[in-house]
Amino acid sequence: MPPFTLPAGGKNRQPMIRFVLRFLGLCLLAAAFVFFVYDGTKSIANQQFLPLKVGELWADIDQHSLNAVQDWFKAKLLWAWDPYLQGFFDLPSWAVLAVIAAILVMLGRKKKRLIGYARD
């Protein structure tokens, strides 16, 4: 079978891509829940809300890439650094991971069948 032909049914289905997107989305959603619980227990212990920020989490994973990305944003998008991008790095990590996970899960879902329309 040539590499760029349609499957036997005549429909171009991509179940593997949808699976990967859903899988990554659910893994990120689980990580967001873990960070949410971590922030909650830390906040209860300290009796004040102390979220783990995106910048702190990224610095714990790889400080060099965080500095490189911040320097690139400061060089290319200086007008957006202070009001927008710096605020992004101060967001709670669980919230950012949950939003990214929701987007990936929605991209990986099956499309609803149209009722009353003919399809080729």
pLDDT digits (tens, 9 = 90+) for 96-118: 999 999 999 999 888 777 777 66
For the chain, what are the domain ranges?
15-46+93-109, 53-91
Which amino acid, one-letter code, is at 54?
V
Q: Which amino acid is at 2?
A: P
* 28 pLDDT above the threshold of 60: yes
How much is the pLDDT for 10?
47
The token duo for 21 is 């997107």
Amino acid residing at 24: L
38-76 pLDDT per residue, tens: 999 999 999 998 899 999 999 999 999 999 999 999 999
